[in-house]
Structure 1
Amino acid sequence: MNLPKWFFPGLGVKRWFLVIIFSFVLISVGITPLFGFDLSVYVTNELISILNIFFGKQANLILKLTALLMILSGISLTYYSLLKIRLEFNTHITPHAEILDLLYEKRRSNKGPEIVAFGGGTGLSNLLRGLKKNSDNLTAVVTVADDGGSSGRLRNEMGILPPGDIRNCLVALADREPLMEKLFQHRFESEGGLEGHSFGNLYIAAMTEVLGDFEEAVRASSKVLAIKGKVLPATNEDIKLGAVYHDQEKRMGESAIPVYDKEINKVFLYPENASTTPEVRESIRKADVIIIGPGSLYTSILPNLLVKGITEEIKNTDALKLYVCNVMTQPDETDNYTAADHAKAIIDHCGPGIFDYIIVNNRQGTKELQKKYEAEGAYPVKIDHQRLKDLGVKIIEADLLKKNSYLRHDPDELAQLIYELNKKYN
């Protein structure tokens, strides 16, 4: 047990310990003398002298009954405080964690608004890096439909949920030294069975086997990285993502969906009744801000929203609901898409009310950078104001472009805008 943690400000337990100690001082008359006299006798006699003025002969009895009541109250309130915290955190941290760690975590995490972000890939992890600087109360809900790369191999070989996007979010929220982050992101290059695997994926897979549960493995990994907030899979069920194209062709598998010169009509999950977890539902209900995106529209964002229970909970909450539109189109997935096309795809899949505001970047990068992206088939997402208004979406546009060699959101600028919106609308 880490004794100094008990003295961390605001835990709400020390006060009851002091009440109990003071009560024993009142009721006791035989403790070891301090500084040459019996302190308990001195304090008790002084109090009795004062009480005699008001209560006469009953003063001694009243003092002892009061002290006894204070002891019982102190013990009861201490127990209540510990029980309350354990009940509050029993779905957030490993059930076997020490109660002191739960209390300490409660105090440490009381910073900033409750934010729940949905997505996957680099878009979500980039957003989290900015958000974590001003809030510890972050929840990243991550798609588990990935079936390619290292995640897909582990999914097929071990029968676990794909850990890749979850690993990226854990690293983004990490509060450890950079070496630990580099370790989790390290990808093996040697030939053989480890080739292409990241250490973080293998670590989560190993923890899943040791603990027997994927969610528990993610929680344990969260503690190792000391993340600010929590990372949750959208569902614990083994789901697959499918797509139907405008020519009515159907394909299954997240990695098989982006196809050159084929326009996606809709995506779906199999099984279609896959449900989210109680922890995700509770996080949405407590949220001050709900953020959808940025990220791959059809393969990162919608796989979250299609999980049964998530869209319904989002629509029912009074939280500020934001959709962060991508800066660039994605080759073979959102070719020629405008901001309104992105928004309409989400509304078509989930119905109206899934978000109230769309955040769009209104600055373009240098011509040199644009040419680099155009060579890969990616173009800036255009803002078509009238179509967005026709969809009933309120537009928030700003210069959100990162000032470097990539055309993506600046995590700090985006996070600052979101916090300003939260202050304005909540």
Structure 2
Amino acid sequence: MTGEARIVALGGGHGLYASLTALRDLTPELTAIVTVADDGGSSGRLRSELGIVPPGDLRMALSALCADNDWGRTWRDVLQWRFATDGPLNGHALGNLLIAALWERNGDVVDGLAWVASLLQAHGRVLPLSADPLEVSALVRDDSGVREVQGQVAVATAHGSIEELRLSPASPVVPRETVEAIDAADLVVLGPGSWYTSVLTHFMVRPVADALVRAGQRSVLVLNVGHDDEETAGTGRADDVRALQRMAPDFVPRTVLVDSEHRDEPGLADAVGRWGARLLVAPVRDGLGAPAHDPHALRRELARVAIEQGLAVRGAERGVAG
């Protein structure tokens, strides 16, 4: 293959930040597609007050892509700066306010994000899953039965097992650029992240779900590490795979990447094999023991996947393909 590989990463929050940190030096043709269902903290307050897409996860993705120089790192830190006051500014991230101001001034979500990317001299671009703010709700089962939980924060912290995920509006406006990016991608990286509210939500937005089905054999699914995610407490990686299969039965990724710690989890190899995907097992967990991916290890394995698919990526370690 000639030219730089076009890579799209989907997710939200800290999981997407990790995958973008891993991918940013592999290609300049990098696009992040970010969930927009957050209703907590600074993002939730701005969403409620201004009726806008929550900017927090978009800000995080932009920060992950900042230029690796004093200019980029300084503006990244400014965007991430969070006020601590006794007044209404308390808890707001400056980047959220900046993004909200650009949206109000320009009247275009994608254009506003492009201006912030330019300010950061970003290694790629950031697009929203939807131009409409999304509300996630779920049916959650616990010892007392099944109840409905509304809102991203409430779903993410609900005690019990999630039986059904719902999204409002059911048919949100999706930017043309978002679907085009997936269709044009040479490699699509889905996950890690909060499984239901940051990963599976992409399959609840029909134009994006259809694009992901088309991109199946160009996709790698990155499973979470550890057992500390409240959304999936008491379940394993095989359960995460089966939840995705139920939601999007036509989507089949080419590769499923899982940390070595989960190699022998019951049912995982069988679930992935029956899916028709390849299971790639590698040590990708943060070496300090945190329930998070090590961006350097994740970069190594994603570079391996890209090279095996014949893609041109930058700076891959010698011998990474085998």
Could you state the TM-score of these two structures normalised by the residue count of structure 2? 0.88
Shift of 1:251: 2.1
1:282-321 CA deviation, whole Å, 9 max, x = no partner?
Answer: 1111111111100000111112221121111121236521
Pair 1:274 & 2:166 matched: no
Moved more, 226-235 or 327-336: 327-336
Contact 1:339 1:381 in 2 (8 A): no
- Rounded to whole Å, the distance in 2 between the matches of 1:393 and 1:310 is 21
Indicate which of 232, 237, 240 corresponds to 2:127.
Answer: 232
Aligned to 2:278: 394
Task: Tell me the distance in 2 between the aligned counterparts of 1:267 and 1:350.
Answer: 12
How many angstroms apart in 1 are the aligned matches of 2:126 and 2:157? 30
Which of 319, 332, 343 is 2:230 aligned to? 332
**Greater fraction of residues in strand:** 2
Q: Could you tell me which residue of structure 2 aligns to residue 167 of structure 1?
A: 59
Aligned AA (2:14): T
Q: 1:213 aligns with which of 86, 91, 108?
A: 108
Name the CA distance, whole Å, in 2 between partners of 1:165 and 1:263: 25
Distance 2:202 2:79 in 1: 24
Q: Report the Cα offset of residue 354 of structure 1.
A: 4.0
Structure 1 position 347 matched with structure 2 position 250: no
Matches of 1:266 and 1:356 in 2, distance apart? 26
CA separation of 1:238/1:181 partners in 2, compared to 1, >3 Å: closer, same or farther? closer
Contact 1:289 1:320 in 2 (8 A): yes
Letter in 2 for 1:327: V
- Contact kept? 1:140, 1:232, Cα under 8 Å: yes
Aligned to 1:412: 296
- 1:357·1:396 contact (CA, 8 Å) conserved in 2? yes
SS of 2:42's equivalent in the other structure is: helix
Q: Counterparts of 2:261 and 2:231 in 1: how far apart (Å)?
A: 22
Structure 1 residues 326-335 or 192-201, which shifts more? Answer: 326-335
Q: Give the CA deviation at 1:425.
A: 2.3
Q: Does 2:37 match 1:145? A: yes
Contiguous gaps of at least 5 residues in structure 2: 311-322
SS of the counterpart of 1:257? helix
Secondary structure in 1 matching 2:177 = helix
8 Å contact from structure 1 (residues 131, 412) kept in 2: no
**SS in structure 2 of the partner of residue 117 of structure 1:** strand
Q: Which residue in 2 is equivalent to 1:80?
A: none
> 1:260, CA displacement in angstroms?
4.7
Give, as a single letter, the amino acid of the residue that structure 2 aligns with 1:213.
Answer: D
Matched with 2:9 is 117
Give the 5 Å matches for 1:50-65: none
1:96-149 CA-partner distances (Å, limit 9, x unpaired) = xxxxxxxxxxxxxx9731111110010111111121112111110000011111
Could you say if the C-alpha distance between residues 418 and 244 of structure 1 is closer, same or farther in structure 2, counting changes exceeding 3 Å? same
Q: Which amino acid aligns with 1:179?
A: T
Residue aligned with 2:206, SS: coil
Deviation at residue 242 of structure 1 after TM alignment: 1.1
Q: Percent identity?
A: 31
What SS is found at the alignment partner of 1:140? strand
Residue in 2 aligned with 1:24? none
Q: Post-superposition shift, 1:329?
A: 2.8
Q: Is the partner of 2:230 in helix, strand or coil? A: coil
Contact 1:169 1:231 in 2 (8 A): yes
- Kindly report the root-mean-square deviation, in angstroms, between the aligned alpha carbons of the 2 structures: 2.1
**1:294 paired residue number:** 192
- Counterpart code for 1:414: L
Q: Which moved more, 1:344-353 or 1:151-160?
A: 344-353
Provide closer, same or farther for how the CA distance between residues 215 and 318 of structure 1 changes in structure 2, counting only shifts above 3 A: same
Aligned residues: 302
* Number of the residue aligned with 1:26: none
Name the SS of the counterpart of 1:249 in structure 2. strand
The alignment's TM-score, normalised by the length of structure 1, stands at 0.67
